[in-house]
Every structure is written in C-alpha cells, then in structure tokens.
Amino acid sequence: MIEVRVGDISRLTVQVDAIVNAANSALIPGGGVDGALNRAAGPKLKQAMAEIGGTPTGTAVITKAYDLPAKYVIHAVGPRYIDGRHNEEALLYAAYEAVFQLAHEYELRTLAVPVLSAGIYGYPKEAAARILYEVADRPLNQKITTQVIVFDDFWLNIFKDVQRSHLK
C-alpha cells in the first residue's frame, strides 16, 4: 500500500518500522532529509553511519533509528542527475530496490520514504516519483505500507498522475 503525505520525515507523529534516509555515498550527514534525520535522531545515528563508512550509489544500508519514531533507518544513496544518460535511472531503481530488499530481510511492514534524488541531486521530480511508485507497487512490496513523505503539496498531484498512468 502506498500513501503520500505532506510533512517532515524527521518529525513523524506515528511510529514506523523504518525511515528511509536520502544519504550520500560517504554516509556523512549533510543537508536536506539527511541533516534533518540526523538532528532528530541524535549523535548516535551519525556515529552508526560513520562505522559503516559508506555505500555506493544505488545501494542502501541499515542502522538503528535511535531517537526517531522507528526501529531502523535505511540509508539509501540515489544518483546525482546529470542528463539522464549516465545510468541515473538504473541507479535510482537500484537504490529503491535495495531499500525494499532490506525491508524484506528485516521483516519490516511500514516505511516512511522521501523521494530520493529529487532535491539537491536534481533528478526530475516526475521521473523520481514514478520510479519510487513502480518499485513500491511491485507485488512483493505491496505487503509493506509505504508512506511517501513529501515537503510540498505539489507532490500530491505528481503522485496522482503517476498512479493514474500506472493503472492504465
């Protein structure tokens, strides 16, 4: 099940099994979702990320969530968008697939997920939303409640369009 909600992923009012972090490949806390989650989780999250040391673009790793309303944080690394001809689509699919693979391994039933790569990494918003929706809507992943958490209302229309075109 996929739900799209406007809000701040670092200040969820409901408990989820895992929150997905839009991480960089060095796993060094930065800005955006990553910075907000690290501030909300406390210093132990940064320490846990440092112990892992990094993960390539298109992959994901998991840590405890510490002071966040979740058991885990899944740190997914989406690609920087260059021009669409540098394997960006395959890497973004791979990042979401890695998220759901970890969700299955850890038997997670609820995820809070941002739209990876669509902020400072410059991925076209409609394409990023489509890829997230397609991966979350695969039959195996439909058993997981996926709460897509977005900052702005315009995302609601983007996801309505994605859902409409996906149902055709």
Report how many domains make up the chain. 1
166 pLDDT band, cuts 50/70/90, is confident
Note if 34 is an active site residue: yes
**Structural contact between residues 77 and 34, judged by C-beta atoms closer than 8 angstroms:** no
Q: Which of 68, 55, 65, 62 is nearest to 28 (CA)?
A: 55
H/E stretch holding 92 = helix 88-105
- Marked catalytic residue, from 34, 83, 152, 153: 34
Residue 168 has pLDDT above 70, yes or no: no
- Give the pLDDT confidence of 113-148 residue by residue, as tens digits: 999 999 999 999 999 999 999 999 999 999 999 999
Query: What confidence score (pLDDT) does residue 167 get?
Result: 75
Helix, strand, or coil (residue 74):
strand
Which CATH number fits the domain that encloses residue 73?
3.40.220.10
Residues 99-115: what's their mean pLDDT? 98
- Give the pLDDT confidence of 65-94 residue by residue, as tens digits: 999 999 999 999 999 999 999 999 999 999
Four-point Cα dihedral 16, 53, 123, 156, nearest 10: 10
Whole-structure pTM value = 0.96
Q: Tell me the residue range of the domain where 63 lies.
A: 2-167
